[in-house]
């Protein structure tokens, strides 16, 4: 798989993802992802992106300020 931006090589890595919403900040840690060696852009697979959506939607209801979640 090549980077959609620069056609660089993509490696598997673990990353953190921060979502900043109006009333809270959600930090999701240890997410399996792919990162471009050349431009550093991070990509999530469809399954991971879908799960991140679920986590964010769940956490934003239950939190007020800053939440830290470990992806599992």
| Site for Zn ion, rule CB under 5 A | 3, 5-6, 8, 36, 38-39, 41
Q: Which residue's CB is nearer to Zn ion, number 8 or number 60?
A: 8
Q: Which H, E and C letters describe the chain, residue by residue?
A: CECCCCCCEEEEEEEEEEEECCCCEEEEEEEEEEEECCCCCEECCHHHHHHHHHHHHHHHHHCCCEEEEECC
Which residue lies nearer to Zn ion by CB, 5 or 32?
A: 5
Least spacing, CB of residue 41 vs Zn ion, in Å:
5
Smallest gap from Cβ 72 to Zn ion, in A, equals 28
């Amino acid at each position: 798989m090549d980077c959609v931006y620069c056609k660089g090589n993509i490696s598997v890595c673990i990353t953190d993802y921060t979502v900043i919403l109006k009333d809270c900040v959600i930090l999701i840690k240890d997410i399996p992802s792919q990162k471009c060696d050349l431009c550093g852009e991070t990509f999530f697979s469809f399954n991971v992106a879908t799960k991140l959506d679920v986590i964010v939607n769940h956490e934003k209801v239950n939190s007020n300020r800053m939440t830290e979640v470990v992806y599992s």
